[in-house]
Each structure stands twice: as structure tokens, then as C-alpha cells.
Chain A
């Protein structure tokens, strides 16, 4: 082989090497893209499963929200009728019927009582009034809060106390 032929071979080899490196680079890029897409898809499927479960579990959130509004007015009605003194036991029974239905669907009243420290995780402060009770505690629950499984559908609406004489 002459030197020239040899040089030609070498440059040809270099070209091929470059082409191979280039191809390998694109191959890796494509493989990475493919793997990522596949991983995304597998994750998506997992997520979708969870979304589906959540949709079943929390899909009723809208109607629960509306129902809670009805329960609120129901409670208002009971309070007012109690004041006027013409209440029938049946009214309480209807209320507990509604509550039972909600309970079966994972809805629970958040227990809040007077004197509890204010907790923004489950409560919403609607007003603040002076009180002899220790400041920052619940004076009165205006509307109860509800939880759908572990999600707060509505925080308990409370009035909290503040020390007397401080504006």
C-alpha cells in the first residue's frame, strides 16, 4: 500500500469513526427520550389510577359543598324554631338522616368546641370579640366545618376571643 492510499484509509476511518460517534450520540439522545417518555407514561398510568380513585372519592365534593350549605340553613332554622319553642323531635331526626347520608360518603363534621385554641388548619376566623377566656381561643362556632375523608371541604367558622381592652 502506498502512503497516499494509507492516508486515504486513515481519513476514511476517521470519517467513519466520526459518523459512528455522531450516530451513537443521537442514539443515546433518542434512547433517553424514549425512556423518559416511557417512564412518564408509566407514572401517568399510576397517577391516572390515583386520579380515578380520587375522582370517585372526592368527585362528590361539589354536591357535598352544596349540601353543607343546606345543613347550615337547617341548623339556623332549628335554632330559630327552638327559640320560638315549637320544635318537633322529627325535625332533629331529619337532620340526623342527612348527616348519616353524608357520613356514609366519607363526610365528617370537624369537632370544635368552645375554648379550643384557634387552628387555621381546620378553622376560619370570622370575627374577634373581647372575652375573659384565654385569647386566641374559640368563643363560638358559627358554622361547623366538614371533612371529606382527609380533605377539608369547609373549615369550621368560628369567633375567637381577644383580651379585654386591647384593640
Chain B
């Protein structure tokens, strides 16, 4: 069965996704981009162009370049919205058959469906090229406020493009699907979609896998482009103040400034300040002029605050106003908030939404792609790809084993897809240790005691030997049902012990949240504790090494070296008892430096002895015990 495409047919840009391996993914177009401009044109050479190519010639061919056709889909020519849009659209719009609309491209008139079909045809062809197989079915998204005739028009466009439209779904529903929110029980969801040219707000209610639109709102003429324009105007004004030159009259300079404004906006989503640096922007009688203006995040925010405030007011209205204008909910009724659209990358927008609802919005999926990805999820459900039996679970929390110093050493990290297995070899911590305790833990905290104990068992019968020599192989194996098998095997004797833990993945949402929250809250003190334990463990092994080395070197060690090592050794032992990691570390460093003298002393003595006998043994003297030294 061929794949079903998930298509986000946007006002400005469109995107396509499919399900692969149970996960939705975006398909790049032939130009190598993840989104395609929703533009169709008839070029001056009489060629039909779609997407980026149409955009590239739009400036010089505005009459025959059709953009924003989504605004006209399924509308009547008499609609007030059409009258308004007609004013600013650069191409001709006229009344068509049965009160519909036609747009002019070249000498011919086309219905908005035909234009949308041209976009869909390209998306289909590019997807086929990418997938290497034919595709003839699709799920297409539309705004939640689209009425029946607008939906029907979208469906027709798909059919004209040779796509069987399996379903038309709402954009906010698709976004919620992409985040898996359809699985929730009786939740109220707000989708805040701030795109390039439109702002849409939708209130959804989910229950039993059914998503219902409760209300929609927004502003069809507010978007990220308005932000760009504001920045551009500000920069032009500032430059006028600074240099007395109005660059808004210079089309090339203005083009450079436009790009720089957009770039600055993007940069200010991560940086607190950026520099708009455009050397040789123009020239006057005194020679070349340069453009250099610093723009801070705070300045950007103050420039566009009115837009953000407006969007928040609209959101409030859509949620709280009585039906039919709003959903008639209280703000506090809302369980989840989803962000869609490139403009929601702006930290001030995220903050404003968070402040309104008092909770963190869902983000993490690229806001430009989330709708197409959600459409692919719906396509996958129709296709039967996303079947419950094939849904693989993940371990909600890390599974660890307690190691020396009461440290929780992770064996399987949280969010690992099961079934999975991991094996690691451990050893003993003391000389002549004949048994090891395997303590299985669950949780994100670095210290064993702060995590949940799942099981404990003892592997004994290890032959007495120096610490670090025995090899105990521990295996964590989780099957698809979340049953964890932990086994420990002494590689020397082959002796094995194991334990089975049922339902290790079966935690309630609250439990997982609590564990994760605790880990975050205690992150700093935990890190300190862990640092102390690590330092202590390191000290312990260095003390062990020092005592062993001194014993091995025996008489070869001069008394003064022995005395100074013993002194440093005692210092470290004392420091180890304390609770200050930095004190332990400095005592540790002092001892380590001192220890090198053992090697020197032994080496010098050996060399002196051998020098007396022969000069040819040099090859054998290359620090034989040093790891990494090559053997001759």
C-alpha cells in the first residue's frame, strides 16, 4: 500500500510529511527545502511556475503571480473579506460562476481551487521524487474556522491535483495530534498559531480520541511579517537620525535592510543583543556610508509589544467569551497549550502565552512543521501504520545500578525505546570481596538513596582476589511489555544470579512527573553530592594505589620520599572524611604529584644499577607499566 501524504496547505508556505517507521517526518521538495511557498505564477516566458521559482519572479510579474490564494478558497465574490483582500492583492480577482471567485493569470481566469491544485501537484510530484514511489492519497489541513464550502474547495483542489483526499482535518487538531494530545481524556486545549501572515487561535476539547473545536478566533491579517516591517521601519528611522540619510528610497539598500531585519529578529530569539551590520549600504558626497545599529531583545519587544498584546487579548476572548464568539471556558480550565507558527519562536511570545495560562506551552516540534507532521500522523492512522500493537513503549525513567559510594549508575537512560538490553562489566571495591550486591534503581537522581528501589539481590561465590580484578557482568533487559530482567554473572566462575521486575515502564503520569520534577529541583545539590562522592572514590583508589606502590617499591624508596608520601597520604585520608570536595581534590592532587616520585626513585635506582653493568638495555627501560606506551 502506498503512503498517504500529510499536507499543510498554508497561506504563505506549505509542507508535506509522511509516516515512516511509525514517526512522522517532513519531506523536502526538489529544491532541497522543507517548506514550499504557496505561490503559482505564469512567467513572462509563458511558463507555469510553482513555489520558490514563482516567488523569485514575483516582484517583476505581480499581475500574474498568485499568492495567498487560500484567503479566497471557497469564498463568494460578495464576501466582505474578499472585498478587503481584493484591495491589496496584486492580481485581478473577479466574480466567477455561481457567485464564486476567479483570479487572472496570463490571459485566463482560474478558480482558487485550480491554483491550490497547482501547488498540491508540485507537492505531490516532489514527494513522489523523494519517496521513489507513486502517491495518490492525502490528508490536507485547513484552518478550524473554514466553513463547509471552504473545506469542499480544498478537497476539490486535492482531487484536481490527482490526490484522493482521505480526510480534511483542522490545523489545530493536526498540531495537537503531532504532540499526541488526542490520547488525553477530556482535556481542553488551546492552539496558538502565529504564522507569517495570519494569527489563529483555536480552542479544542478532546475525549475518547475525538477532537472537537469549541471556538476559533484570531486576526487573518496579523503575522510575523508585521514584526519584520516594524523592525525595518525602526532601522530606517534610526539611520535617518544617525546619518541624515533616508535609505527607504534606495530599493537595493532597502532589500538588504529587509533581509537584515528578519535575520536580526531570528537572532534575538536566542541572543539578547545583535548588530545590524551593513557596510557600504549607500554613499553620499563624502563617500561610502555604512549601516551599523545595535538592536537589543528589549528594544525588539518594545517595538512589537502591541502585536503580542493584541494576540493575547484575542486569545482571551476566544477562550472566555460566551458561545458562539468564544468557548465560554475559564482560562484556568485549559489543560494544554500548543504553539504553532514561526513567530512563536520569539521568547516574548512564549512568555506572554505562558503568563496568560500559567503553564508551559507545548513546544519542541518545529512550529513551522508541526501541522504537516500532525497531518501525517492522521494519515498514518488511516493507513494503519500507527497500530496500537506496534506502538513501542519507552522507559519513562532511567534504570540504574548502585555502585561504590552509593552512586546510581544509569544502565538504561530515560526515554529509551523498549525492548532493549544493556550490559556493563563491574568489579569489586575491596580486596577479597566475595560477593556483590546488585541494587536496581529507578529515577533521575545521581545518588542511589534518592531513587526508587526496584530490587536487590546478591551474587556471591566470587573467589577472593584483589579489588578491581573480578569481572561481574550486569545485564538489564527490558522486553516489549516493560518487564525488566536484571542478571549478574561472575565471568570468572560463571556463577549467575538474576531477578525479574514486572511493569518497570508502568508508572502513572503523576509519578513520572514527580520524579522528573524532583530531579530538576535537586539538580544543584545532587551535583554537589555526586562531586563529593566522586572525589572520595577517587581519593580511595589513589590511597589504595599509594599504599600498594609503597609496599611494592619497598627498600628502593628513599626515606625522605617515603615520609613525604606518608604525610600527603594522611592528609588525604583526613580530607576524605570531611565534606568538602575541593579540599579532597587538592589533597588528592598533592598526593598524586608526590606519588610520581616513587616511579622516579625506582627508575633511577634501576638505571643506576644497570648502567654499571651494560649500556644496551635501554629498550627495556621505557616505562613498562605506563598505559599507552608502545611495547618494543
Contact = CB atoms under 8 A, between A and B. Distances in A.
Nearest to A75: B280
Contact of A124 (B43, B56, B278, B385): B56
Contacts of B390: 33, 37
A117 B57 CA distance: 13
Contact of A155 (B45, B56, B387): B56
Given A44-B21, A77-B280, A118-B57, 20 more contacts: A33-B387, A36-B385, A40-B22, A44-B20, A58-B32, A73-B278, A77-B279, A80-B283, A80-B287, A120-B49, A120-B53, A120-B54, A120-B56, A124-B56, A124-B57, A125-B57, A125-B60, A127-B59, A128-B60, A142-B252
Contacts of A162: 60
Interface in A124-146: 124-128, 135-136, 142
A48 B32 CA distance: 16
Contacts of B582: none
Contacts of B255: 126
Contacts of B385: 36
Interface of A: 30, 33, 36-37, 40-41, 43-44, 58, 73, 76-77, 80, 84, 117-118, 120-121, 123-128, 135-136, 142, 151-152, 155, 160, 162
B56 A80 contact: no
B617 interface: no
Given A80-B283, A125-B60, A151 B32 contact: yes
A67 B627 CA distance: 45
A37 B21 contact: yes
B61 to A, nearest CB: 8
Contacts, number: 67
Contacts of B49: 120
Interface in B14-68: 20-22, 31-32, 43-45, 49, 53-54, 56-57, 59-61
A120 B43 contact: yes
Given A30-B389, A127-B59, A135-B44, A152 B31 contact: yes
Contacts of A30: 389
- The 7 A-B pairs of least Cβ separation, nearest first, read A76-B280, A40-B21, A125-B60, A128-B60, A120-B53, A124-B56, A120-B56
A123 B288 CA distance: 28
8 contacts: A33-B389, A33-B390, A118-B45, A121-B53, A124-B56, A125-B57, A128-B59, A142-B252
Contacts of A123: 56
B508 to A, nearest CB: 29
B251 interface: yes
Contacts of B20: 40, 43-44
A36 B2 CA distance: 12
Interface of B is mostly: mixed
A142 B49 CA distance: 23
Given A30-B389, A33-B390, A76 B56 contact: no
A117 B21 contact: no
Contacts of A142: 252
Nearest to B290: A73
B389 A127 contact: no
Q: Interface residues of B toward A: which range?
A: 20 to 34
Interface of B: 20-22, 31-32, 43-45, 49, 53-54, 56-57, 59-61, 251-252, 255, 278-280, 283, 287-288, 385, 387, 389-390
Contacts of A126: 59, 251-252, 255
A54 B251 CA distance: 36
A159 to B, nearest CB: 9
A160 B54 contact: no
Among A58, A73, A117, residue most surrounded by chain B Cβ atoms (within 10 Å): A73
Contacts of A160: 60
Nearest to A41: B21
Among B53, B56, B61, residue most surrounded by chain A Cβ atoms (within 10 Å): B56
Contacts of A84: 287
Contact of A120 (B32, B57, B287, B288): B57
Contacts of A58: 32
Nearest to A155: B56
Among A123, A124, A127, A128, residue most surrounded by chain B Cβ atoms (within 10 Å): A124
A151 B52 CA distance: 13
A106 to B, nearest CB: 14
Contacts of B389: 30, 33
Nearest to B385: A36
Contacts of A41: 21
Contacts of B252: 126, 142
A152 B53 CA distance: 11
A117 B56 contact: no
Nearest to A33: B390
Contact of A125 (B21, B59, B251, B283): B59
Contacts of A43: 20
A117 B32 CA distance: 24
Nearest to B20: A40
A42 B57 CA distance: 41
A12 to B, nearest CB: 29
B44 A118 contact: yes
Contacts of A80: 280, 283, 287-288
B57 A76 contact: no
A162 B280 CA distance: 29
Contacts of B45: 117-118, 136
Nearest to B41: A120
Given A37-B21, A40-B20, A136-B45, A127 B60 contact: yes
A72 to B, nearest CB: 8
